[in-house]
Structure 1
Amino acid sequence: MVGRGPRRAGSGRDRDCRRPRMNVPLSGQRLWDSLMEMAKLGGTAKGGCNRQTLTDLDSEGRHLLRRWAEAAGCTLAVDRVGNMTLTRAGRDASRKPVAFGSHLDTQPTGGKFDGILGVLAGLEVLRAVHEAGIVTEAPLMLVNWTNEEGARFSPPMMGSGAAMGIFTEDEVLAKQDPEGKVFGEELARIGWKGGADPGALRDIGAYFELHIEQGKLLEDAGKEIGVVTHALAQNWLEVTVEGEEAHGGSPMAGRRDAMMAAAPLISAIEEIALKAVSASGEPGRATVGRLTVYPDSRNIAPSRIWFSIDTRHGDADLLAKMAEEIRARATAIAAARGVKITVADFWYSPHTPFDPALVGRVRDAAQRLGLPHMDMPTGIGHDAVYVARRVPATMIFCPCHGGISHNEAESITPAWAEAGLRVLADAVLATAGIAKD
């Protein structure tokens, strides 16, 4: 569907597979320039980006995207949870839109590319189609999902979750950040609470999402494109350890120190994940990302510890067994330490396959463009994972250096960005169809 990128010597691939099916003037340089321009909004001293959801900076990023997309002939709609859709009409108004996109919000110490690449690569597809005067059979729709990161308001992926019926609008709008600010009120404050029904997005015909891998499998394998076939199951837990405060100078014997009970449980979580090995040799994944201490004083043994656990696995049964073992360890440690440990469910996302036809379209595009590629799962939650529960969907990965993400040091090359752009455009236009004169 699109012209090939720069030729790589010695690829050994049939040059016919890289011959453009039609001339679509995609610009890797314009995509890169747009990424750098967006990164200025919330840019950090270390070269990353802090543009958290429903902040003034988030609003600025949304306005910038709107200006760019409207200049490419798109029409904006905003739904009641703030999801932005920018649509370019197709010849056949009865056909469902072919959608693509990701998110513009970042972590507090995030990078320039996580989510943003998918949104701005989608913008570049729209720009190129507009410049060439191409008319697609189905409408094209760029989506910027609200609060994918979940850094300020938890859980993550609220915009796509509300759109796909996984969360209700009311529960999303009522969520509070750590300062007690309410999601719905902040959405209205920054001017991005629309009137459209988020559930209308369940009626799109297909959804593609380009994203950086956030791992190093592609880089290690020397591949430029990841063809994402499915998402791992995820299970998030919250742990509360309740003991008794004690003076730091008091004897150790007899203490009910919540920290000394939490520490061995946290240590065991890594062990539990690494032992949960599937038949294919894949272990589990587990992370303790947040921890709070009460009363948080240097010379008091704490009476209360709270921490989060994020567990993931490609085998749903092994994921469940990981949670069972975490609970069993908690029970044993609580008895030995004379404390109370509560392990509560917080959020679950099942093993989610992507649409085989769309996965095949991505694979065919990478093959035809002569781009080294490999099939792979995503171990990370993305809006596409929620969308795939209701709509045919898939993802495209490009490498990121060292697998570093959710970090100001996150980086990719312009060539990787362009390779992902070209595969995205090829797959999107093959799905939407080109109107014949």
Structure 2
Amino acid sequence: MVAQSNIVVDGAALWSDLMETAQFGATAKGGICRLALSGEDAKVRAWFKSTCEALGCVVSCDSMGNQFARRMGEEDGLAPIMIGSHLDTQPTGGKFDGILGVMGGIAVLRALRDAGLSTRHPIEIINWTNEEGARFTPPMLASGVFGGVFTQEFAQSRADRAGVRLGEALEEIGYVGAEVCGEHPAAAYFELHIEQGPVLETEKRTIGVVQGVQGMRWYNVTVKGQDAHAGTTPMTMRSDALWGAARMIDAVHQVAMDHAPDGLGTVGIIDCLPGSSNVVPGEVQFTVDLRHPSDSVLEKMEEKFRQCMNYLATQCGVEMDITPTWVSAAVHFDPLCVECVRESAQALGYPLRDIVSGAGHDAVYVAQVAPTAMIFVPCWKGISHNEAESAEPEHVTAGANVLLHAILAADARLDA
């Protein structure tokens, strides 16, 4: 193989790709609304396909609509080394979440082409379907099918708020491939992503060497009281669902604080019925998101959360029900792949630190079936899932350079 020490990505081309694709679903505030399998998603998928084909790749998709852009290897019968992330966004998303990992893959292939460098393994870029979970829940559905966590039947049956099922939406935009999702081979998987947190920026580190992803558990909590007239029902005779829910929400915060600094607790959605200013609320539903890098600690957080909810329901004279909606165990990435990332960042002279991902990524589920690693770069103030999401061109380029050299290191070191 050709010497590789001086090969680098074209940072200007990478930035141009990011800005060009930001026009698919662009919002007035400078962000992106590109929900999974929407018309805008179909447009950016077509852009991805044509761009990768221009680099000499063969592009295909599987039965979950995951796109695979393949660059041949010298030993093309080997399982591919994969680079991937997603192209869908939140309703008020930014220009970098997810798509940086896909555009970083394109930058890697462009660098290999320009250097005339071949690899032993085939290299594939993957666009995973419905990572965000903003349209079809839970998140990371297609990579979950790929990793054997969800069945295809379950994933394709998920419906959006309009009642459209994921399988129907796939057919509508023409992305149901012949290959059964999960049957695609993988020698290793690397994912480049903005941190979505403030640590790297605060510490002035360019690269986060991701050790794994913390455990996450989601719940829907329903609190039932009694609708009543706000002007005629004495305070001592009320069964106020919102008052009970408010105390429960405060308890979620306290459970996380009791397990600080790594414990996290979030209530992101609250629905209150009947929704009238002069009616005592009779029913409240809210979501709970608990996270911790240790599954054993997360289990203790859940136990305390349930105890608090039951206690407060009794104290407030309401009924309460907890329904788990999603569980993702803590993930520890492959030591060899992680070392390829660390050594590449060190060789390139970038300030780095080890880090654990607080957010879920497709890498969580791919790690179930292939050696996996992730690379983080800073984002402005740690803001993500927000139209204000921003990253610096030099950090984006640095992340793609580390990705490139990690891929080359893995290509040399992975068993045939």
TM-score, normalising length: structure 2: 0.96
| Structure 2 partner of 1:257 | 240
| Structure 1 partner of 2:318 | 339
* Distance across 1 between alignment mates of 2:8 and 2:373: 24
* Distance across 1 between alignment mates of 2:296 and 2:125: 36
RMSD: 1.5
| Structure 1 partner of 2:350 | 371
Q: CA deviation at 1:25?
A: 5.4
| Structure 2 partner of 1:225 | 207
Contact 2:222–2:320 (CA under 8 A) maintained in structure 1: yes
1:80 aligns with 2:63: yes
Gaps of 5+ in 2: none
Q: Residue 74 of structure 2 is aligned with which of 82, 91, 96?
A: 91
Q: Residue 329 of structure 2 is aligned with which of 340, 344, 350?
A: 350
Contact 2:8–2:401 (CA under 8 A) maintained in structure 1: no
1:247 aligns with 2:226: no
Q: Residue 322 of structure 1 is aligned with which of 267, 291, 301?
A: 301
Contact 2:213–2:359 (CA under 8 A) maintained in structure 1: yes
Q: CA deviation at 1:194?
A: 1.5
Deviation per residue, 1:263-309 (Å, 9 max, x gap): 000011111101114xxxx3301111112122222222221111111
1:214 aligns with 2:196: yes
Stretches (4+) displaced over 6 A: none
| Structure 2 partner of 1:123 | 106
Percent identity, please: 45
Gaps of 5+ in 1: 3-19
* Distance across 2 between alignment mates of 1:57 and 1:230: 32
Amino acid at match of 2:197: G
Contact 2:18–2:100 (CA under 8 A) maintained in structure 1: yes
1:359 aligns with 2:341: no
Deviation per residue, 1:43-90 (Å, 9 max, x gap): 111111110111000000100011100000111111111111110111
1:382 aligns with 2:356: no
| Structure 2 partner of 1:391 | 370
Q: CA deviation at 1:351?
A: 1.4
Corresponding residue SS for 1:198: coil
Mapping of residues 256-335 of structure 1, within 5 Å: 256-277=239-260, 282-335=261-314
Contact 2:222–2:321 (CA under 8 A) maintained in structure 1: yes
| Structure 2 partner of 1:410 | 389
Contact 1:52–1:107 (CA under 8 A) maintained in structure 2: yes
| Structure 1 partner of 2:130 | 147
Deviation per residue, 1:167-207 (Å, 9 max, x gap): 00000000011221111111111111222111123x20000
Q: CA deviation at 1:407?
A: 0.5
| Structure 1 partner of 2:52 | 69
Distance 1:25 1:359, change over 3 A: closer
Deviation per residue, 1:109-151 (Å, 9 max, x gap): 1100000100001011112222333221110000000000001
Mapping of residues 161-200 of structure 1, within 5 Å: 161-200=144-183
